[in-house]
A = this chain, B = another copy of it.
Amino acid sequence: MNDPFRIKRLCLIGVGLIGGSLVRALRKANAVDEIVGCGRQRASLETAVKLGVIDRIEQDPAKAVVGADMVVLAVPLGAMQAVFAAIAPTLSAEVVLTDVGSAKASVVEAAKNVFTELPAGFVPGHPIAGTEKSGVEASFAELFAGRRVILTPTAQSSENAIARTRAMWRACGAQVVEMDIAHHDAVLAATSHLPHMLAYSLVEMLARRDDSEEIFDYAAGGFRDFTRIASSDPTMWHDIALANRDALASLLEQFSVDLQKLAAAAREGDSDYLKNIFTRAKQARDRYEKKDRR
């Protein structure tokens, strides 16, 4: 049977946790023929070949995209524009071009800075999945199973390119939705970018203390879960924080005010205030926990 969505040659630029997991999943679903891996670190690409994650290596992005019918950019947000610039001259008109960046306005902006007109094959995307680990060694085929992938098509994205990108993620077991770019960035600032900032900030504040070694000695299981995301890649999160700075900074400021109010309520012994916050939070968290069991 001739599957119109089967990928003949996928060019993966950035072979790390997300990119590696994507192609592992596609391979497992038998949805791709050949995978060309492109990246800056040769050793990491060689590991990817050994692990069977990619079929061959091409370190020059301009060459890597030649002959591919699907190009996936899985590099940090800060590297997107340079990659667009590198592949623009050799990118075919028929190729589907997508990315996995955690903030979408900045990726579209980067593409606009490179392409005179946004390609019809360009469909920005973001899989809502990941772990605190990095690198192709941490990749696994099940990462996207049952998770959501948000596509944020541009005004120029063709229906065909959207359908092909959608099909690629569905083959990984993901649930694909479409969203407006600004809305995506606002939602992700709240559910992902802000929590990462809080985890990083908390651990850094504690690490700054004179008694920091002791402090971590007396941290319990709750702390371990709470701070897990502070082990995430600093460069990647630096890029995300800058790429989505406006939405994120507003939330940080709002949250900062909330904490001052909470501190005042604790000092003043305002029982009702504390109980209301904690009770509403528990209710929402318990509801989320139930929904998330899938």
Which A residues contact B (CB, under 8 angstroms)?
Answer: 128-132, 147-148, 150, 187-188, 190-192, 194-209, 211-212, 214-235, 237-238, 241-242, 245-246, 248-250, 252-260, 262-264, 266-267, 269, 271, 274-275, 277-289, 291-292
CB closest chain-B residue, reference A235: B275
Q: How far, in angstroms, from A10 to B254 measured CA to CA in the complex?
A: 49
Q: How far, in angstroms, from A286 to B285 measured CA to CA in the complex?
A: 27
CB closest chain-B residue, reference A132: B222
Q: How far is the CB of A231 from chain B (nearest CB, A)?
A: 5
Q: Cβ of B278 and Cβ of A234 under 8 Å apart?
A: yes
22 A-B interface contacts by CB (under 8 A): A191-B206, A194-B202, A195-B202, A195-B222, A198-B198, A200-B281, A205-B254, A212-B284, A217-B291, A219-B288, A225-B229, A228-B285, A230-B285, A231-B289, A232-B282, A234-B282, A238-B271, A242-B274, A245-B269, A252-B266, A255-B259, A256-B256
Within the complex, which residue of B208, B220, B252 is in contact with A263, where a contact is CB–CB below 8 Å?
A: B252
Q: How far, in angstroms, from A245 to B262 measured CA to CA in the complex?
A: 10
Q: How far, in angstroms, from A219 to B214 measured CA to CA in the complex?
A: 33
Q: How far, in angstroms, from A191 to B216 measured CA to CA in the complex?
A: 7
Given contacts A148-B218, A245-B269, A256-B256, contact A226 B223 (CB under 8 A): no
Inside 8 A of A132's CB, which chain B residues have their CB? Answer: 222
Q: Cβ of A285 and Cβ of B227 under 8 Å apart?
A: yes
Q: How far, in angstroms, from A288 to B206 measured CA to CA in the complex?
A: 12
Q: How far, in angstroms, from A279 to B203 measured CA to CA in the complex?
A: 10
Within the complex, which residue of B190, B228, B289 is in contact with A226, where a contact is CB–CB below 8 Å?
A: B228
Q: How far, in angstroms, from A235 to B206 measured CA to CA in the complex?
A: 26
Q: Cβ of B249 and Cβ of A281 under 8 Å apart?
A: no
Inside 8 A of A259's CB, which chain B residues have their CB? Answer: 197-198, 201, 252-253, 255-256, 259
Q: How far, in angstroms, from A252 to B260 measured CA to CA in the complex?
A: 7
Given contacts A225-B229, A267-B246, contact A203 B284 (CB under 8 A): yes
Inside 8 A of A291's CB, which chain B residues have their CB? Answer: 216-217
Inside 8 A of A275's CB, which chain B residues have their CB? Answer: 234-235, 238
